[in-house]
Each structure stands twice: as structure tokens, then as C-alpha cells.
Amino acid sequence: MSKLFESIDLRQVTLPNRIVIAPMCEFSAQDGCASDWHMIHIGHLMLSGAGLMMIEATAVEPQGRITRECLGLYSDESEAALGRVIEVARKHSDMPVGVQLSHAGRKASTLAPWDGPGHVAPADGGWPVIGPSPLPFAEGWPVPEEMTRADMDRVLAAFEDAARRCVRLGVDVIELHGAHGYLVSSFLSPIANRRTDRYGGSLNNRMTFPLEVFEVLREAWPKDRPLGVRLNGTDWRDDGITPAEAVAFAQALARRSCDFFDVSSGGNGLGAKIPSGPGYQVPFATQVKEATGVPTMAVGLIRSPYHAEAIVATGQADMVAIGRGMLNDPRWPWHAAEILGHRIRVPPQYERAATQADIPSWGR
Ligand SMILES: Cc1cc2nc3c(=O)[nH]c(=O)nc-3n(C[C@H](O)[C@H](O)[C@H](O)COP(=O)(O)O)c2cc1C
């Protein structure tokens, strides 16, 4: 019996298996509004047989977008546009839907990857960026405005508003983006946070604003629905957050009823030495899972179904999130099921293609 294909309950939401489609920015929105691309992208991934579709980093205010083309959930128009995509996809899929709520902080207002790299100045449709301290991400990047308490209150209200929009859209799961050097992650990291007030310095101080964001979401999000956090297991730099600090942050979130962790790493500054390879972030997920007892997903270069199965079956993590593997092979869960001897439900229109057993080996 495959463990990867066992269901898992997160509050009242049941994921039919442990395969999560990792959040992936598409840089294809207009004024934060999901486009036809999202209809195709989310729609087809929701036919994949995964256990959860986690929609890309979705900005809670316009200045929180990474690029001008990023998805948002901060206006009635952006709510309606995402609502249309979810409604259509749900006509053909009962896969639970998650939204990753995000604020890009000092890494906002950049060019889309295929137009970049580079920052977009306010005169060109960009905007001034904000962060914990007036320290640019790297040379040539804009100096963020140090956030005042009023800025924090505005951002908290934006997270709350976005969570309420998720309620209206019938979203099943919210994941707070607390990784990769974006706003929440930058508050946690001593690389980006050099404040001398109660939001900087000790880990407890650096956690204060991130925990406030979580608490606002927990309050706005229905009790029957899971709220999780993507966090950095490490910044991969001596002057960044360490695995022990990541665990302490996760424990603080667990005490506030965080329902799952999604453990990633990096993105708080250049010069990180990342020993990237299959499952390179799994040990951080295992540490968080063991220290908190909260369901945890591992992510990062998990491509082989056997590897995914081993991670879940040996208890290194409870779920695996697959990013590029899903883009490369949108039927990854079908193929994993076939390899691991599990029968997966597929749309009736595709039933005749659900197994590769009838295809001669030369056709594979
Ligand atoms: C095109 C693309 C877009 C991404 N966008 C996001 C995002 O919106 N939020 C996030 O937390 N991570 C994002 N990531 C990181 C992925 O979620 C994932 O953590 C990373 O790609 C490693 O997993 P993989 O090796 O399975 O791709 C993105 C990755 C890719 C390739």
C-alpha cells in the first residue's frame, strides 16, 4: 500500500493523497487579476490527480506583488477574476484548492523573469518597496522604506481582507508565504532585518510581525479550514536564519494552531551556498515535523515517485510538494500511482489514457 496515496486530514479538509502542487508564480495577471492563462494552467493541473492545488503567491496589496504581472487578491476585480478560474476548474475537479497569500516586501516591483532581471522604477509602472530595514536585497536594488507601525497595520489589514476574499471564493486552504526573502521572511532574517525596536534583534523580536500576520489570518479564516505557512528552513548563510531558528519559529506558529508547514529555504540575499540536489530541503522539513508534530510538507527537487514515496513512508515529511516536476509532467500523480500500484481517479474523458500498460515500450 502506497503511503504517498494515503489521504490526510487538515482540519475538516481531506487531501485525497500527499502530493501537493507547489505554488508557482505565472507572471500572467493584469492588475492582479487572473487571466485566461490561469484558467488553462490551474484548470489542467487540477486534472492531474494531486491531493492539493496550491495557487501561486497571491499579493494582498498591489505593492506586495513581485512583478506588475503577479496575481493579487486585493480588489473586487481580482477576487472576481480568481473566482471565475476556481469556479470553472471545480466543475471538472474536486481537488482541494489552496491560495498562497503573500507580500513581496523589498523584493517587489521587479521585471517578470523573461523580461528581467531588473527593478521597475515607479515612473515605469513600478512602486517604492517596503521592508523591515532600509537595506536593499542586493546592489542595484531599491532601498526599501523601513516599515512604520502604520505600514504594518495596513499590511495586516490587507492580509485579513485577502483571507475574507478567500472565504467568499470557497478556497479550502490558505498558505502564508513566509519564505524566500519576501516580506514575512525578511522580518525573520537578520540579513534583512536590522531594526533596533521590538521587531528586530532577538529571534523573538524578529518573529513578532510574522506572528501578527499569522494571527490575523487565523482570526479571519474559518475554524474548519486549514491555515499553514511556507517558511525557510535556513537562509544558507552564516548571517541568516539557522535551522534551529526556523524550528523555533515553527514551534511559535504551532502554539497558534498552525495546521501545516511547507519547508523551503533561501532567497534572503545573494551569496547563499545551496547544496542543491534531490530532496535537498527534506532534512529541514523533518526537523520542523519532529519538533512540532504538525503535518509538514517537503519541497525541492523531488522528482522520482519512489523518492516521494520514501519521504512519506519513512516519516521524513507528511506530504511532498512538487513544482517543476508538475509543469514538466502534469500527469505526474498518474504516473506515480501507476508505478506505486495505486489506482487513481481520472476524469472520465481521459479514462482510456489513465494507464500506460497498453502502450508498447517503444512508445514510452
Ligand atoms: C515557475 C516557478 C514559480 C514559483 N513561484 C513560487 C511562488 O509563487 N511561491 C513560492 O513559495 N515558491 C515558488 N516557487 C518555488 C516552488 O514552489 C518550489 O518550492 C521550487 O520550485 C522547488 O520545488 P521543485 O524542485 O519541485 O520545483 C516557484 C518555482 C517555479 C519553478
The CATH number covering residue 349 comes to 3.20.20.70
Distance CA 171, CA 98 (A): 6
Q: Which atom of ligand 1 is nearest to the CA of 302?
A: 26
Going by C-alpha positions, the residue among 188, 278, 269, 169 that lies closest to residue 230 is 188
Contact 69, 113 (CB under 8 A): no
Convert the pLDDT of each residue in 21-34 to its tens digit.
999 999 999 999 99
Measured distance CA(247)–CA(253) in Å, rounded: 10
Domain residues for the domain of 193 are 8-358
Query: Quick one: pLDDT at residue 364?
Result: 45
Name the residue of 19, 21, 24, 307 whose CB sits within 8 Å of the most ligand 1 atoms, as the mutation to test its pocket.
24
Whether residue 280 lies inside any domain: the answer is yes
Reduced to 3 states (helix: H, G, I; strand: E, B; else coil), residue 231 is: strand
In a domain, 168, yes or no: yes
The protein residue with its alpha carbon nearest to ligand 1, atom 30, reads 24
Task: Dump pLDDT digits (tens) for 279-298.
Answer: 999 999 999 999 999 999 99
Residue 68 pLDDT greater than 60, yes or no: yes
Residue 221 DSSP class: S
Question: In the prediction, which pLDDT does 36 show?
Answer: 98
- The one-character DSSP state at 88 is H
H, E, C per residue of 235-285: CCCCCCCCHHHHHHHHHHHHHCCCCEEEEECCCCCCCCCCCCCCCCCHHHH
Please report whether residue 2 resides in a domain. Answer: no
Q: What are the pLDDT digits (tens) for 136-159? A: 999 999 999 999 999 999 999 999
pLDDT score of 116: 86
Note whether residue 364 is domain-resident: no
Side-chain half-sphere of 32: how many Cα atoms within 13 Å?
A: 23
The predicted model gives 249-260 an average pLDDT of: 98
Residues noted as catalytic: 182
363 domain residue, yes or no? no
Name the grid cell of 211. Answer: 506572528
Q: What is the pLDDT of residue 345?
A: 87
State the total domains in the chain: 1
In a domain, 129, yes or no: yes
